[in-house]
Structure 1
Amino acid sequence: MIPASKSTFSTPWQMHEFFAGSGLVSYGLKEMFHCVWANDISTQKAAVYQANLNLKHFILGDIKDIQGKSLPKAHMSWASFPCQDLSLAGAMGGIHASRSGLVWEWLRILDELKEKPKILLLENVIGLLSTNHGNNYRAIHKAISERGYKCGAIVLNASLFVPQSRPRVFIIAVDKKSHIPSELTGKGPCWLHNSSAIELGNSLPNWIWWKTDRPSKRTVTLKDIVDPTVPFDKDNVLKLIPPKHIEKLNKFDFIYATGYRRTRNGKQQLEIRCDGTAGCLRTPEGGSSKQYLILKNKNEIHARLLTIRETARLMGAPDTYILPGSYNDGYKAMGDAVVMPVAKFIGERFLAKLAEAVY
């Protein structure tokens, strides 16, 4: 289980948060950045955000209706824009499609601000780097560069911090005129860059090769996030587990595994993983089902859905994090969020240091 962080909100740096979701970014950054303005269109996510952060200037509504001139001053702008048109689980419509294309609304608002923040961060699925032969990323990189920033993309998998496989790309941008501490940049790629990022970095102007040391080894396991008191009531799905996956389970006397229902060759099956790490949490809108928890104990195998609290733990949220609403509300809020310790890691390793250097 993830311990709660201390809350001070006495931070010198201020931020805007677009597509704010359930607030895990602001929660992870709260020791470094105070969110002075946030926006999301989802009523359910807004309820989670406000229950935990109680932000006075949370604007519930369409980003298309936001006017940049109305926003308070901030040192950083964070935008976790929609991934549906860039995800392998989605429609792959690209960076100009209706959902992922909302990033252009964020850029419009940036243009309308009385004073642009010197630090930007955009978050999305790793498909942003590879889909359409990398041209989706190139379009954003060009737009950011034209607005007076230099930037680079890094890839972080949440499995470094929590027992969930959730690779994501983070674009960190800084005002071109600002000094960047040498400790934060390298002359080439490092462990933060996958093959797509390397290809883009070698071909684009105004690219920054961000660098930092790897985090310490994760200690939280899948077993640690499981509530053992919850009954297993979905054994009817066990018949969908393919024989090869049953063989994997049978190698263990006791194990917690996770699985998703998939359709392969017109047939439904429950594909499981037994590596102590959950699959990536998703939402129904992302083209996938809810994730099952499988228990193998000697000769018995049982199944149930992950609880909302378990999904929150997989997102790095402490058990004190409030999750109002229905099961579906909570699942969507967590499945569509940024993993809290990942946001905190980026804040500590890059964003706070950049703020100190450029302001």
Structure 2
Amino acid sequence: MSLACAIERRADALPMPEHPNRPPFLDFFAGSGLVGHALFPFFDTVWANDICAKKAAVFAANHDAPFELGSVTDVHGAALPSAILAWASFPCQDLSLAGKMGGIRAKRSGLVWEWLRVIDEMPQRPSILAVENVVGLISSHGGAHYRELHAALTKRGYKVGALLLDAVHWLPQSRPRIFVVAAEASLPIPLNLTVDGPTWAHSEAIQKAASGLPGWLWWKLPEPPKRALTLSQIVDFSLPCHDAATSRRNIDMIPLEHRRRLEKSGLRVVPGYKRMRRGVQVLELRFDDVAGCLRTPCGGSSRQYLVLRKGKEWRTRILSPREAARLMGAPDSYRLPGAFNDGYKAMGDAVAVPVAAFLAEHLLAPLVAVCHGKS
């Protein structure tokens, strides 16, 4: 079986719903549509939006759901179709540890409040809300940003809990993300969906932020199975590398300790990012056959490099958009129209497919079943 077929089978192995009438969900900040792809076995995307035209092109190439191109500030809740679930992967720039840390009231990350405005304007609010963002939502400023969001959700009549799910449990990419799930306080939440205290999915930062919060729930998820897929298995070794001179310049940027480890690693491919260290640009590598967290291509340190063994030599190149898609759990049939950077950005800003699918299968869908009286 080819690598492409193997990835296709893994992506298509998600369980299909028992009934063809999947409950409707709204996909805010939908980007390239990986959340809709992940939730397809459980939910029907009845509306999606994003402000980026290039991401919208990726969405349209893979989905036939209604898509509204534009800012969430121009969305009116009264005009949206009814839905039982609303998902929001709101911008992370002001909460990311790699950004300026402007906070949840800053221009980009502050769009979460526009999302809540839209929810408030709907004739009937969705019973379940799901929010995804970087760990800075929980860890920065002692959890103050999360607590502000939590208070806004509980004020609207929801009980809320947060989870830390790292894509590395499913995929060879280190990508920890916070998932906030809110359910209407009136819902009779099944006992098997909550626990009395923190679990494997509740980091110390989450525990600290949750301390003393009213309306807090410790959501329960089963531990995922051990990951078998490695970076070496998803890399396309047939793609061209940089020429010898460019590869040598990149390899010369690798710190001496990392170069020694590279020679002894026995790996065919090692990923890395260029970073500034004490005023000098270096190419820092990792040696666990796992990629670093994907980023958007908006600077010299944002593109992930691969150092590949070619016979007795090492060559370098940039991670390809298709490899980035594989690292997000998207099947090779997932179309990536546009230029190199368009596909790279579409994946770098996305939500890992198996993570969203895992959350949907074990928490979101069971909660919706309660709403439908199926528990």
Tell me whether the two structures share a fold, i.e. TM-score over 0.5.
yes
Q: For the residues of structure 2 that align with 1:203 and 1:119, how far apart are their CA atoms?
A: 23
Question: What is aligned with 1:102?
Answer: 111
Candidates 168, 171, 178, aligned match of 2:187:
178
Query: Equivalent residue for 2:155?
Result: 146
Equivalent in the alignment of 1:354: 367
1:5 aligns with 2:12: yes
- Which of 300, 303, 306 is equivalent to 2:313? 300
1:297: how far off? Answer: 5.3
Q: Which residue does 1:252 correspond to in 2?
A: 265
User: How many residues are treated as equivalent by the alignment?
Assistant: 358
Q: Which residue of 2 aligns with 1:239?
A: 252
1:18 is matched by which residue type in structure 2? Answer: F
Does the aligned pair in 1 maintain the 2:144–2:209 contact within 8 Å?
A: no
Q: In the superposition, relative to structure 1, how do residues 265 and 84 fare at CA in structure 2: closer, same or farther (>3 Å)?
A: same
How much does 1:218 deviate? Answer: 1.1
Residue number in structure 2 paired with 1:159: 168
Structure 2: unaligned runs, 5 residues or longer: none
Alignment partner for residue 208 of structure 2, among 189, 192, 199? 199
For residues 297 and 219 of structure 1, the distance between their equivalents in structure 2, rounded to whole angstroms, comes to 25
Determine if contact 2:91/2:108 at 8 Å carries over to the other structure. Answer: yes
| SS in structure 2 at match of 1:321 | coil
Which deviates the most, 19-28 or 294-303? 294-303
Residues 184, 268 of structure 1: alpha-carbon distance in 2 compared, 3 angstrom cutoff: same
In structure 2, the CA distance between the partners of 1:285 and 1:68, relative to structure 1 (3 Å rule), is: farther
The answer as to 2:275 corresponding to 1:262 is: yes
Contact 1:123 1:170 in 2 (8 A): yes
Query: Residue 211 of structure 1: which of 194, 208, 220 is its match?
Result: 220
Q: What is the CA distance between 1:284 and its match in structure 2?
A: 3.6
Aligned mates of 1:100, 1:298 — CA distance in 2? 47
Aligned to 1:24: 34
Residues 167 and 173 of structure 2 are in contact (CA less than 8 Å); yes or no, is this contact kept in structure 1? yes
Unaligned ranges ≥5, structure 1: none
**Conserved? CA contact 1:89–1:287, under 8 Å:** no
Q: What is the alpha-carbon distance in structure 2 between the residues aligned to residue 157 and residue 297 of structure 1?
A: 32
Distance across 2 between alignment mates of 1:179 and 1:227: 49
Tell me which residue corresponds to 1:90: 99
2: CA distance, partners of 1:291 / 1:277: 12
Matched position secondary structure for 1:251 = helix
Greater shift, 197-206 or 103-112, is seen at 197-206
8 Å CA contact 1:89–1:288 kept in 2: the answer is no
Distance in 2 separating the partners of 1:161 and 1:290: 22
> Any idea what the Cα deviations from partners look like across 1:8-45, whole Å, max 9, x if unmatched?
79343110000000000000000100010000000010
- 8 Å Cα contact 1:295/1:303 also seen in 2: yes
Indicate if the aligned counterparts of 1:11 and 1:30 stay in contact, CA closer than 8 A. no
Aligned residue in 1 for 2:55: 45
On the 8 A contact 2:162/2:178 being kept in 1, the answer is yes
Percent identity of the aligned residues? 51
Residue 117 to residue 210, structure 1, CA distance change in 2 (3 Å): same
Superposed displacement of residue 287, structure 1: 8.6
Distance between the aligned counterparts of 1:181 and 1:175, measured in 2?
13
Matches of 2:267 and 2:145, distance apart in 1? 44
Which residue is 1:337 aligned to? 350
How far is the alpha carbon of 1:286 from its aligned partner?
Answer: 8.3
Is the partner of 2:45 in helix, strand or coil? strand
